[in-house]
Structure 1
Amino acid sequence: MTRTVKVADREKTAERLLNSSADRSYDPEVDIDWSAPLVEGLRYTPEHRCSLYGTALWDRMSPEQRVDLSRHEVASIASVGLWFEILLMQMLLKEVYGADPTTRHAQYALTEIADECRHSTMFARLVERIGCPAYGPRPHTRRLGKVLPVIGYGPALYGSILVAEEVLDRLQREAMADGSVQPLVRMVNRIHVLEEARHVRFAREEVVRGMATITRKELPYQRWLLATTSMFVIRSLINPEVYAAVGLDRDEAHRAALGNPHWRETIRWSGERIMGFLDEVGLVGKPGTRAWRRSFLLG
């Protein structure tokens, strides 16, 4: 009886999300004016969210160099977001593969995959439009990422989706309301935030359901996998090559960013909501504690 109720609740949620998707979805190819000129002098992220903000290196940079760094950092974050969304789609397809396609749950998962296809194209267009490389994660992380759709399952699978989505969500919500940020970036952020709200609701409920069914023996693996995946995603957001692109010493700037209290606080702030949720459901703890700390999501 309990299982029937849970399945019915899951179907109700999926039905609501399907209706919301039909009522409020965007096509970035149509809804964004990609030909609009970029605004001279405007930043691409809020200044205090740049990874070097507050460091001695930042103090030595010219205003133009700071704007350029924000441009390259947005390109890095967008291309890492694109990379992870491709992994996310693979993980969702793995879930759908064994599901009953006539259920609303499976149909919403397919709808989310369609959303992520559009978001990936949108991020790619953004990187192209602002004239930056598609940095993505570093090669070793990209290679490791291929394993995730194979070994990921259960609450850790949906938890890793939530970490990536909710960290970006909080950064994008702030930026889309900041008039000092380029209008193009703000529009991309707005579309992503509005559509990801549905994805977050879906994934949070799946985490709760998954935690109700895993065994005590599985819990350490789920904690380790989630923490390790989150560490690689967060540490990949700013590819060190962005520093070389604006005329800085790559390794010196990368070390400065990793040790920067302002940047560490940005990561902690961006992830505080999702970390509270994951801790509440029991997914934060040993053997993943060290990886959480290395991600800066946990102090």
Structure 2
Amino acid sequence: MTAADVHDAGPEVSRRLLESSATLSYDPASEIDWNAPLPDGAYGLNPEWSTLYGTPLWDEMSERQRVALTRHEVCSIMSTGIWFEMILQQMILRDQYVKDPANPEFQFALTEIADECRHSIMFARTCEKLGVPAYFPRRHVVELARLFKSTASAEVAYGGTLVAEEVLDVMQRDWMRGENVLDIVRTSSKIHVVEESRHMKFARHEIREHMAGVSPTRRYTSGALIAVVAYFIVNSLVNEGVYHAVGLDTRRAVAEVAANEHRKSMMRNACAGLMEFLGESGLLPRPAVALYQRVHMI
């Protein structure tokens, strides 16, 4: 497909996404039963997605601790999701600033921002319902993100967005089907998966459009920058504070997570489609591959 073909397809892609949004969207305020009690034995996420699953420490934990840990882990992931969705909204607004409001791309971009606002509120209410405090990335990551959200544009902005959305999408597709997972998490995951599928299509199209006909140097630089963003996002998903919160030795827990081959395999499988797309787009230079390997995305 030529650069002109990619550009010409833009309005049609956005128009289809707008039609999908009009026919299949959810209101978390009414779709989720916020007053329903939380069953004592239900997990926050599928045990297989726990960072400690498959480790000696997991085997030593009581069932109560395992349930509590998964609830703190899912809320840590949701808190990180809120943090990045706020970054995403600012980048999209900058990208669409003074663009033609009659263009379907402009209209879908604002639709995506509205979706992200609802998702963030949904995640916030879920964590509140579970009684889990907010978990935030480390201070240096928060400050670096201030720079990123204020300067990132084009394929780097949409690439960072796609990384966050794709990783969470694979996890939540399992959570929404988990029979031993809390209903509130299953329903919020379903809502997010359905609506984020449109966001990912939009991000992929924007990346293709921005990358059409660019120089090898730009591909190399953009690919490396997207990998840096991915590195910090993945490292921020589960805050180390979750282990202390459920009475575990944090130092031991962190060490076992770092050596957890099951966890590494789950991450590689979750990122397979994303890595394939980045490779096809010419956004996997050697420095990027090295960073993805460090966080087990490849």
One fold, TM greater than 0.5? yes
Deviates more, 1:134-143 or 1:63-72: 134-143
Deviations 1:168-190 (A, max 9, x none): 11110111111111111000000
Residues 223 and 286, structure 1, Cα contact 8 Å, conserved in 2? no
d(CA) in 2 for partners of 1:35, 1:70? 21
Contact 1:72–1:132 (Cα < 8 Å) also in 2: yes
* In 1, Cα distance between equivalents of 2:219 and 2:5: 24
Report if the CA contact (8 A) 1:94-1:149 is conserved.
Answer: no
Give the RMSD, CA atoms, in angstroms. Answer: 1.4
Q: Deviations over 1:85-133 (max 9, x none)?
A: 1111111111111422221111110110110010011111111110101
- Measured against aligned partners, the alpha-carbon deviations of 1:45-82 in whole angstroms (never above 9, x if no partner) come to 11111101111111111111011100100010000011
- Aligned-pair CA distance for 1:217: 2.4
Paired residue for 1:88? Answer: 88
Unmatched segments (≥5 aa) in structure 2: none
Residue type matched to 2:208 in 1?
A: V
Deviations 1:260-284 (A, max 9, x none): 1111112111111111111121111
Cross-structure match for 2:164: 164
Q: CA deviation at 1:147?
A: 1.2
Map 1:34-49 → 2, pairs under 5 A: 34-49=34-49
Matches within 5 A, 1:191-230: 191-230=191-230
Paired residue type of 2:111: T
Change in Cα spacing, 1:35 to 1:259, as seen in structure 2 (3 Å) is same
Given residue 45 of structure 1, which amino acid in structure 2 is its aligned partner? L
SS at 2:271's partner residue? helix
Structure 2 counterparts to residues 63-212 of structure 1, below 5 A: 63-212=63-212
Within 5 Å, which residues of 2 pair with 1:265-276?
A: 265-276=265-276
* Counterpart-to-counterpart distance in 2, 1:241 and 1:3: 47
Paired residue secondary structure (1:244): helix
1:222-266 Cα shifts (integer Å, max 9, x gaps): 011100000100011110000000111222211211221111112
Contact 1:96 1:109 in 2 (8 A): yes
Structure 2 Cα separation of the partners of residues 249 and 285 of structure 1: 38
Partner of 1:289: 289
Alpha-carbon distance, 1:19 to partner: 1.1
Q: What is the distance in 1 between the residues matched to 2:271 and 2:252?
A: 26
Whether the aligned pair in 2 keeps the contact of 1:76 and 1:134 (CA below 8 Å) is: yes
Q: Distance in 2 between matches of 1:65 and 1:135?
A: 19
Q: 2-11 or 18-27: which moved more?
A: 2-11
Distance 1:10 1:137, change over 3 A: same
**Structure 1 residues 235 and 3: alpha-carbon distance in aligned structure 2, compared to 1, 3 A threshold:** closer
> Alpha-carbon deviation of 1:208?
1.3
- Identify which range, 188-197 or 56-65, moves more after superposition: 56-65
For 1:271, give the aligned amino acid: C
CA deviations on 1:156-175 (whole Å, 9 max, x unpaired) are: 22121111111111110111
Q: Secondary structure at the match of 2:39?
A: coil
1:44–1:71 CA contact under 8 A, matched in 2: yes
Tell me, in whole angstroms, the C-alpha distance in 1 between the residues paired with 2:27 and 2:213: 37
Q: % of aligned pairs identical? A: 43
Looking at structure 2, the residues matched to 255 and 141 of structure 1 have their Cα atoms a distance apart, in angstroms, of: 21
1:19 counterpart letter in structure 2:
E
Contact 2:172 2:193 in 1 (8 A): yes
Q: Work out whether residues 44 and 181 of structure 2, in 8 Å CA contact, stay in contact via their aligned partners in 1.
A: yes
> In 2, Cα distance between the equivalents of 1:149 and 1:175?
29
What is the alpha-carbon distance in structure 2 between the residues aligned to residue 207 and residue 72 of structure 1? Answer: 34
Task: Could you tell me which runs of 5 or more consecutive residues in structure 1 were left unpaired when the two chains were aligned.
Answer: none
> What is the TM-score of this pair, normalised by structure 1?
0.96
How many residues are treated as equivalent by the alignment?
297
Q: Is the alpha carbon distance of 1:220 and 1:151 closer, same or farther for their aligned partners in structure 2, counting shifts above 3 Å?
A: farther
TM-score by length of structure 2 reads 0.96
Q: State the partner residue of 1:8.
A: 8
Q: Could you tell me which residue of structure 2 aligns to residue 60 of structure 1?
A: 60
Which aligned runs of 4 or more in structure 1 are off by greater than 3 angstroms? 2-8
- CA–CA separation in structure 1 for the residues paired with 2:43 and 2:164: 23
In the other structure, the counterpart of 2:22 is 22
- 1:42 deviation in Å? 1.1
**Residue 4 of structure 1: how far off its partner (Å):** 5.9
Query: Is the deviation greater in 147-156 or in 178-187?
Result: 147-156
Using the alignment, how far apart are the partners of 1:98 and 1:248 within structure 2?
Answer: 51
